Amino acid sequence: MALKGCLTVASDKSITHRAIIFSSLAKGTTNIYHPLLGADCLSTLAIFENFGIHSQIKDDCLTITSPGLDAFEVQSSILDAKNSGTTARLLMGVFSYLNEPVTLIGDESLSKRPMGRVMTPLTQMGARIELQDGATLPAQISPSQLSGIDYELPVASAQVKSAMMLAGMLAKGRTTIYEPVPTRDHTEKMFEDFSIQYQKVNRVITIEGPQLPQTPKEVFVPGDISSAAFFIVAALIVPGSHVTIKNVGVNETRSGIIDVIRSMGGKITLLNERYFGGEPVADLDVAYTKDLVATTVEGEMIPRLIDEIPILALLATRASGTTIIKDAEELKVKETNRIDVTVEQLKAIGADIQATEDGMMITGHPEGVFYEANVSSHKDHRIAMMLCVASLLLEKPLLIEDIESMDVSYPDFLKHLQALLEN
């Protein structure tokens, strides 16, 4: 059954997280239009409500009224990030600025994910953070005076960069951050929106602190390209499909999936390119493509599509030749080890795929047949949505466990998918 029609996908999770953070730190009222109100972003919001900010949701607008960071009062010392790695990592430095000690916790999955890469530079800045023996949550964070440092990121990580930028904003003196390769720059754009002064030359970011954000009154969140990727791939691989996805963020640091699809011969066109709330957006016109070809995804491309690799692996199963994905070790510390889980689940339905140390190899069979199997998302939202798209290629139902994990980033995913199928 082909997918037809237009849709607007879930709003950008990364930008919504940052909009909530900056709006909460800034004194006054900020309206966030078209936010993603999935489980992860609501975890961020709940933590700030614990500090005394007030929020209201009405007509696709999240209004945050804050007393400002300097007036925060800690109502509970236990701060629960639940499943949100972005919440935990970005806010560690901010919590150091509080006047009371707090304990940052997470759910079972998040408590297994490494936090040491964030703690290391923050500790050098003067933060007092104690993690568990495995450098995992819970984290005990005590009040401290942060000071600026020079720091070269050992791996490309937008979360570590953003954590340091937030800490550098609050720290005394100059913080200089060196990125090995470019990563998503939503924090930099949010600095500009909230009047935080900084400099960025090539991959070197310099911040003079301390500074406090000033509300711009309004923030606009575009559609999430990571969420759009599932519908893009579905349209490319399901015969007869033709879909237009409206108002998708195409920030160059996030749009690697579009470049890779073009290199594979996929029919994707950007229409009505424009700016929306300071971010580049476009409407994506995508059509079924019979003659996809394999490609290699590596190096500086990886940070530009790190969250899209599971669905990209599915796309590669329909391309002639062998697609190689490498330099993607970061996938091992996501909600799951996404290298192993992606390979295991696709192999279970008949894909010719194998894991490597830093990625995977997929030999495509354009006319190959997937077969019925019991598969699981392993409580990873992106694996769950990838498997839903894979199910469109089966004649019999695919039984997917832990499908509710999609609520993390796209609560309406199944409803939107069904609407395109009904068209």
CATH number, domain with residue 332: 3.65.10.10
**Which residues are CB-neighbours of 107 under 8 A, at least 6 positions away?**
82, 83
- The pLDDT tens digits for 63-82 are 999 999 999 999 999 999 99
CA angle 179, 209, 277 (to 5 degrees): 65
- The pLDDT tens digits for 235-292 are 999 999 999 999 999 999 999 999 999 999 999 999 999 998 889 999 999 999 999 9
Note whether residue 290 is domain-resident. yes
pLDDT value of residue 299 = 95
What pLDDT band is residue 395 in, cutting at 50, 70 and 90?
Answer: confident
CA angle 300, 17, 125 (to 5 degrees): 70
What pLDDT band is residue 334 in, cutting at 50, 70 and 90?
Answer: confident
Name the token pair of 13.
């999770």
Note whether residue 275 is domain-resident. yes
pLDDT value of residue 106 = 97
pLDDT value of residue 396 = 85
- What percent of the chain is modeled with pLDDT above 70? 100
The mean pLDDT value of the chain amounts to 96
Note whether residue 358 is domain-resident. yes
Domain that holds residue 264: 4-8+222-422
More confident residue, 323 or 369: 323
Q: Spell out a b/e string for 37-64, using b for 16 or more CB atoms within 10 Å of the CB, else e.
A: ebbbbbbbbebbebbbbebeeeeeebeb
DSSP per-residue string spanning 337-389 = -HHHHHHHHHHHTT-EEEEETTEEEEEE-TT------EEE-TT-HHHHHHHHH
Residue pair 79/105 in contact (Cβ under 8 Å)? The answer is: yes
Phi/psi for 276 (5° steps) reads -135, 110
Largest CA distance in the chain: 62
Residue 11 has pLDDT above 90, yes or no: yes
Phi/psi for 51 (5° steps) reads -95, 0
Q: Alpha carbon of 103 to those of 5, 113, 198: distances in Å?
A: 47, 16, 30
Phi/psi for 211 (5° steps) reads -140, 150
pLDDT value of residue 128 = 97
What pLDDT band is residue 31 in, cutting at 50, 70 and 90?
Answer: very high
Residue pair 180/203 in contact (Cβ under 8 Å)? The answer is: yes
Name the token pair of 270.
């950007």
Whole-number Å distance between alpha carbons of 209 and 374: 53
Residue pair 29/217 in contact (Cβ under 8 Å)? The answer is: yes
Residue entry with tokens 């019979």:
290
pLDDT value of residue 278 = 84
Residue 156 has pLDDT above 80, yes or no: yes
Residue pair 338/353 in contact (Cβ under 8 Å)? The answer is: no
Q: Hey, is 19 helix, strand or coil?
A: helix
Q: Which DSSP symbol is given to 279?
A: E
DSSP per-residue string spanning 60-104 = TEEEEEE--GGG---S-SEEE-TT-HHHHHHHHHHHHTSSS-EEE
What pLDDT band is residue 134 in, cutting at 50, 70 and 90?
Answer: confident
Residue pair 17/87 in contact (Cβ under 8 Å)? The answer is: yes
How would you classify residue 186: left for phi > 0, otherwise alpha for psi between -120 and 50, otherwise beta? alpha
Note whether residue 24 is domain-resident. no
Residue 338 has pLDDT above 80, yes or no: yes
Whole-number Å distance between alpha carbons of 277 and 407: 25
Name the token pair of 216.
């711009």
Residue pair 381/410 in contact (Cβ under 8 Å)? The answer is: yes
Q: Hey, is 110 helix, strand or coil?
A: helix
Note whether residue 57 is domain-resident. no
As a dihedral over the C-alpha atoms of residue 334, residue 339, residue 344, residue 347, rounded to 10 degrees, the angle is: 140
Question: What is the total residue count of the chain?
Answer: 423
| Structural domain total, the chain | 1
Note whether residue 187 is domain-resident. no
- The pLDDT tens digits for 178-234 are 999 999 999 999 999 999 999 999 999 999 999 999 999 999 999 999 999 999 999
What pLDDT band is residue 332 in, cutting at 50, 70 and 90?
Answer: confident
Note whether residue 343 is domain-resident. yes
Note whether residue 94 is domain-resident. no
CA 285, distance to chain mean position in Å, is 23
- Would you please indicate which residues are annotated as catalytic (active-site) residues? 307
pLDDT value of residue 397 = 82
pTM to 2 decimal places? 0.94
Q: Which DSSP symbol is given to 320?
A: B
Whole-number Å distance between alpha carbons of 75 and 70: 15
Residue 333 has pLDDT above 80, yes or no: no
